[in-house]
Amino acid sequence: MPELPEVESLRRILVRSAVGRTVVAAKVKEARLRRMVTPDLARAIAGRTIEGIGRRAKYLMIELSGDHLMMVHLGMSGSLTHRRGDFDDAAFDARHDHVEFTFDDGSRLVYNDPRRFGLLKLVAHAGVESIVELKGLGPEPFAKDFNGEYLWRVSRGRRGAIKNLLMDQGIVAGVGNIYASEILFRARVRPSRRAGRVTRAELARIATITAEVLREAIGSRGTTFRSYRDSQGQPGRFASKLRVYDREGQPCVECATPIRAVVIGQRSSFYCPRCQK
């Protein structure tokens, strides 16, 4: 599943290749995504120029002329690829190319999604604050207001596991399952610890390391599991840097103790019983 680093990597690629291009035609071949693509999307987007591309949590925010935004969420298996002359179409199954935008230079931006859990939605810039998908999202992990003091404040009295707190999108936007395990390993905090019992110093560490791990993952274009490919059809490389995730029974990179797996909040979690308290 694409997480924040994958979406941010994609944003950076598209900023270089697609900003300044004008959509001359759009085609919705399959509207049944997680939310139905509205029937007027193709018509409403044609003629608009891409002026910039932002990101909020795992949503790409494609800024269009005429004060509109197209929000794109990749769901479980979506990809958005800018296909130019040298693009290898064989990397994607054409049956899952659901939405296609043709640009003024003949290149195409294609939304492909085998499992159809994604979302494409055109919204007016003015109403962006009230968009239901964005309401209630916590700060971005790179924002100044996401820090140890903030985590301290929101975790007091919380009985749930610290890992669930980190994955709560209302607390911090964009930390998924893989990265939560990695962050807690580096912070030396056990994922099952009650959030309200994690100390101020540990929370400060967790906040700093959250940004650090996500930055590293962005630098590696994210983590590839199963079929995820970025906008250029390339896999992410962060998988080779994972220290605990999916390493049950393998020796800890710090102390050689076998890594353990535990289910927390219905998600697999991995930790070193010796390094993490």
Q: Which residues contact Zn ion by CB under 5 A?
A: 252, 254-255, 257, 272, 274-275
The smaller minimum CB distance to Zn ion, of residues 48 and 247, is found at 247
Q: Please tell me which residue in 21, 58, 83, 186 is annotated as part of the active site.
A: 58
**DSSP annotation string for the chain:** ---HHHHHHHHHHHHHHHTT-BEEEEEES--BSSSBPPTTHHHHHTTPBEEEEEEETTEEEEEETTTEEEEEE-TTT-EEEEE-TT--GGGS-GGGEEEEEEETTS-EEEEE-SS---EEEEEEGGGGGG-TTTTT----TTSTT-SHHHHHHHHTT--SBHHHHHH-TTTSTT--HHHHHHHHHHHT--TTSBGGGS-HHHHHHHHHHHHHHHHHHHHTT----TT---TTSPPPSGGGG-SSTT-TTSBPTTT-PBPEEEEETTEEEEE-TTT--
Q: How far is the CB of 185 from Zn ion (least distance, A)?
A: 8
The smaller minimum CB distance to Zn ion, of residues 174 and 191, is found at 191
Annotation marks residue 58 as catalytic: yes
The smaller minimum CB distance to Zn ion, of residues 63 and 254, is found at 254
Annotation marks residue 3 as catalytic: yes
Q: How far is the CB of 244 from Zn ion (least distance, A)?
A: 9
Q: How far is the CB of 275 from Zn ion (least distance, A)?
A: 3
Q: Which residue in the shown chain puts its C-beta closest to Zn ion?
A: 252
The smaller minimum CB distance to Zn ion, of residues 71 and 183, is found at 183
Q: How far is the CB of 42 from Zn ion (least distance, A)?
A: 53
- List, by residue number, the catalytic residues: 2-3, 58, 267
